[in-house]
Structures are given as structure tokens and as C-alpha cells.
Amino acid sequence: MLELALLVVFALSSGTAQQVTVPDSLRALQPDSLRAIRSKSRFIPFIGNLERVADSTSSLHSTQFIQSDAMSAADLLWRAPGVFIRELGQPGQPSQLNVEGLDVRATALLLDGRPLRDPITGSYNLFDLPIEFLDEIEIENSSASLFAAPSSAAGTMNFVSHQYDNVRPMTKLRFVQGPFEHLLTDGIFAQNISRGMNAMFGVQRLVTDGRFPNSKYDSWGFRAKLRYNITDRMNVWVSDFYNKSTTGLNGGIDPVNSPTLFDELTAVVRDSSTAQTFSKHDFTFGLVGKLLPDSTSLSRALAYYSIVDREYSTGATQHTHPTFTDIQSSSVRGAKFEQQIDLSPLDIDVGAEYEQRVIQKGFFLKSFTETYSSAKGRAIVRPFDWLTAEGSARFENLRNDDALSSSMRLQTDVTDWFSVWGGFSQSFRYPTIQELYWADSTIVRVGLPGKETHSLTELGFRIKTGPLSVSLQGFKRKIDNAIVMRQVGVLNDTSSLMITPIPQVDIQGVAVGLSIQFWHLALAGNLTYTDYRQSENSIQPFPRFASYSELSYRDTFGDSVVDLKVAVRLKAISHHNGLQFIPLQLSYAQQNLTLTPGFASLDFYAVARIGDAHVMLVWENPFNVNTMMVPYYPMLGRNVKLGVNWVFTD
């Protein structure tokens, strides 16, 4: 009633300006009434981030990739310098992530700080991560990445989920249709259900009949999150993330019996009877708080549990059961704690991690349990406004084997728009469970794999001024006791996979990123050069040159009713020997029987925002260029995709 009376007085006073005392009294009362109506926000931002600053202008932020045609996390990661995605040409097929010459086994993948990789193979299918779930992707591939996560010699990628804080209900729907019955359907609902508490639920369905026989893909994904802002200094959250998919694994195209590799009507696949059903259930509890008197010092705690099941079968026909089935079951449980201490100009981060991995069953694996533990620390000092020095260390133990990793990094901000940095690190990668224990007659081990030693030296600079951003990073890596997988013989039922340690692998290269805006035009792209040598012998498992670029035009029409973006995209890689995909082990092995030719392909797409809807039209590979990254898995030819992304706020 008091607020109502004040509003009435304010309305009356607005028409009686001659009275001097009334405006004075209103100026005294009005702020009080407004403070009573407002509720103080208790939401701590960046609770899923590794760092405390988000760049909404980055191409890896949701405000930007909603304006793109990206359908999976792999489509987004192509935009990052130094990143190369080895694709199999069909949605849902297990692609391989590579960063500066290292594959996913040496790249930490996190979701809001919790690990995502498969405990057996160390791999992860990027199609299992809906981009509608993501707010941004943090990439740390400098010498400091070892603090964020173990086995991160190539870097750390943290996929940060949306942190909704909306009083009004929000519903978001996305639908995309592509060639060969490729359908993506995604729905999200989020709303604050009480003061300080937000609930979110999402579901995604991704299906395709596949371009070639036995490449069907059918997946369901469910995600839910409940976050409670206890106070403005304490947030807790729980999330449940579940995916289940069925994939046909045809082994690629048979080049001997196929008239052409790129004609889906006449091409013959190597295997028409192999399939896998894969499911992964991730449960996470997180806490972020300001437990110290300093409001800038954050405390983070995570507890997580994952269940992974894979059923691999082969030999099935329309009328008979599979001749062979392997059912794998594993689980991971762990906890992480990190404490930031702000003693400006010195920042200190300390933390500890514990993880238990359990193999319940598997045809090629015995049942066993192993534990990983680590303690870590990082110090960042800024003696001057233009100079930052950083050092980090991680002590870890796995399988009764200790390792101490360390890194140093120095950055100088020459001007407000020009900075230079350099760093050095030495870190370790323990062998995966598959590399050590997978017992299969088709796997040959030369010696017992031990942990890899990674030494990295890097030097780079960044220019960021107004509409221009340029970055260049040179890197030189040395890997001692590198664990290499090689294909022995032609890929068939009698082929073998050799796991062998290489005394030394040397990788060096340069990764360049560029973005510039002029008028309504924007140009963004990257170029990566990688030279890979094993025991001083030059081989090419990776393309020497890989590039991704996009030129776009964006403007509003109809009195700002329509916000239109039209873009042309270029993806190009040079020729290389590449790797052969082994479906049984979900692994990639070096081969030298086939030279994978280089290619350059164009795509055109347009995204129009009309009200709360984003309408997308894509014309992929309009010149029908024959492309391939893995022998023999042809990429898609000319096709069209159409989609809509709609947000409802009531």
C-alpha cells in the first residue's frame, strides 16, 4: 500500500509543478521505493568458465554462432586457429579432433569444467554435444593449459553451457533438414521457479539415413540443469546430460568394387553389417562461491559421475543375428576443487583432482579399477600494467606412476592493441586404457607403452584494434616415447593395428587467425601450417596446410524488421597420407597406402532474423567438388539445408 500511495503522490505532483515542497519530498522518497521493488541479483556469472571474462564478439560465442549454419560442435571448432577436424563425411560418424598436430587423446575436453572423454579410448564424438546447449567455447592451447585439466598437452577446450536467469519462461525450438533425411530437432525450456532458482530442460533428436549403405545415424539427447543462487556469494547447480545413439559403421567405400567413390548409387561399402549403440550418462554437481573476504576470489568444487555403454556388433543381416557382439561398460567418478586467491598484483590458483575409472565388462577388456589423483597450482603476477608473468605446475599419479608437469608464460602488452607472448611447458600424457589393456588378436604391441613426455615452446602476438584482429602463434613440440597407432595391411577382417612407442616425434608450425570488419562486410579466417616428423623422418598424418575462412555481408531491412546475413565459406586442406579409421576400436591409425588429395570447397549460406526467429538456408559444395579426409570416406557433395531457430519468451 505504501508503494501505491507513493505512485499516486508522484502522479499528482507531476501536474503541480508550482508546489516547491512536493518535488523535494518525492526526490527523497522515490529512490527508497524503487529499491524496495527491485530484488538484488544473487547470480554469480561465469560459473562454468575456466576464466572470468567472456568475449561475446568471438566466433565461438553463442551470440555469434546463432548467426551461422553450425549444427555440431565440430562445425564451430573449425573456426579456431590450429584446429583440424578429421571428418568421415556423414553426420554422427566418429570424427577426430586435432590441435596443432596432436589428436584428442592429448586434448582435454570439458563441459563446465568436468571431463567428457571416453575413459577407455580417450575419444569423444562431437555430435553428442548440442550447440544449443552451449553459451561459448573456451580454448586454452597455450603452455598454461595444463592447470585446467590433465592430458592437455595440445590444449584444453571447455564447453560452457547457458546459465539462464529468466523470470519469464523461455522456450527455444530449432529444426534443420538436410540431404538423405538428415533431421535435427532441438527444444529448450528454462525459467526461474523461485527466487534465485532456475530450471532448464532440453532434448535433441538427430537422424540421417546416410549417403551410403549402412551409415544410418539415430540419436537422442536429454539435458537438464537446476541452479540455485543461495546468496550473491554462493551458487550451486546440478546437471544431468544423457546421449544415446545407433550408428552404422560401413568401413568406408571399397575402391576396387566401386565404379566411383563419390556416387552413392553405385559405390560399394566395405561392410554392410556392422553397427554400434553408444550411450553416455553424465551427472554433475557444482558449487561456486566467494568464501574469502575478497569478492574477486572464487572457490570452485565439482563432483561428477559418468556411465558409458557401447555395444559393437557385426555380421547381422535382415534375417539373422550378429555373428559377433562386444558389450563394453565403464564408469567414471571424480571430484575437483579450485581456489582463486587475489592478492593484486599477484593471483594464485590452487587445486586438487581425484578420479576413479571402472571397467565393468568388455570382450577385449578385463574388469578392473584404476584411480587418478593430482595437485596443481598456478601463479600470475602483474608487476606492471604492461607485463604479465605466469607459472603453473601439476603433480599427478596414475597406475602408481608419478609425473610433475610445469609451464612458464610471459606476456607484454606493448600498447593497448598490441601484445606479445612466449611460453614453455613440459607435460605428460598417460596411455589410455585401450592402448595398455585392449586384448585383441588384431592388435600388436611393440613394447609396453609408457607415458609420453611433451615439451612445448611457443611464441606469438596479437593485434586487436577496432574492427581488426590478427593473431599469430608459432609452436614447436617434442614428444618423447610417443605412442603411435599404425595400420598393418589393408583394412579388412585380417588387418592388424600396431601400437608402438616412437623415441621422438617433432611437430612445429604456425597458426594464424584474422578477422576484420568494414562497412557491412566481415572477413574471418585462419590458416595452420604443421610439419610432423617421427624420428627425424618427415611423414604427413596431418595436412601441412589447413584453412577455414568466411566472408559475410550483414544488414537490416524493412525498418530493421529483418536482420540478414549472407556468407560464403571456404574450407581447404593440402594433400596428406592421413589416418585410417578402425571402427572396432574407434581409433585412427597411420597408413601410407593411400595419399589423401587436397581440396578447396565453397559453401554459401544465409541467416535471416525475423522477430524472434532465425531462418537458415545453406547451399553446401555448390560446385560439387569431390573431397575426402579419410580413405575411403567421401564427403558430401552438392546439397541444400533449411532450418529455423525460434525463441519464445512467454
pLDDT tens digits, residue range 175-193? 999 999 999 999 999 999 9
Buried b (16+ CB within 10 A) or exposed e, 26-58: beeeeeebeeeeeeeebebebbbbbeeebeeeb
Amino acid 152: pLDDT: 93
Is the Cβ–Cβ distance between 308 and 331 less than 8 Å? Answer: yes
The mean pLDDT value for 472-497 works out to 82
| Structure-block grid coordinates of residue 419 | 601484445
Based on its alpha-carbon atoms, the radius of gyration of the chain, rounded to whole angstroms, reads 27
The mean pLDDT value for 136-155 works out to 87
| Structure-block grid coordinates of residue 374 | 593430482
Amino acid 441: pLDDT: 80
- How far apart CA 258 and CA 472 sit, in angstroms, is 44
pLDDT at position 472 over 90: yes
pLDDT digits (tens, 9 = 90+) for 209-234: 999 999 999 999 999 999 999 988 89
The mean pLDDT value for 338-359 works out to 94
Residue entry with cell 584411480: 371
- Strand 599-610 with 587-590, pairing: unpaired
Residue entry with cell 583394412: 491
pLDDT at position 23 over 70: no
| Structure-block grid coordinates of residue 270 | 566395405
Is the Cβ–Cβ distance between 561 and 555 less than 8 Å? Answer: no
Q: Is the dihedral of CA 107, 111, 117, 119 positive or negative?
A: positive
Amino acid 40: pLDDT: 54
Is pLDDT larger for residue 311 or for residue 14?
A: 311
Q: Is the dihedral of CA 65, 67, 68, 71 positive or negative?
A: positive
Amino acid 490: pLDDT: 61
Q: Cite the DSSP H helix spans in 151-203.
A: none
Dmax (CA) of the chain: 99
pLDDT digits (tens, 9 = 90+) for 526-574: 999 999 999 888 888 999 999 999 999 999 998 888 999 999 999 999 9
> If phi over 0 gives left and psi between -120 and 50 gives alpha, with beta otherwise, what is residue 519?
left
As a whole number, the mean pLDDT across the chain is 89
Of 194, 193, 188, 157, the residue nearest 173 (C-alpha): 188
Give the pLDDT band of residue 511 (cuts 50, 70, 90): very high
**pTM across the whole model:** 0.91
Residue entry with cell 608459432: 474
- How far apart CA 433 and CA 519 sit, in angstroms, is 53
The neighbour count for residue 615, using CB atoms within 10 Å, is: 16
pLDDT digits (tens, 9 = 90+) for 34-62: 343 344 567 788 888 887 677 777 889 99
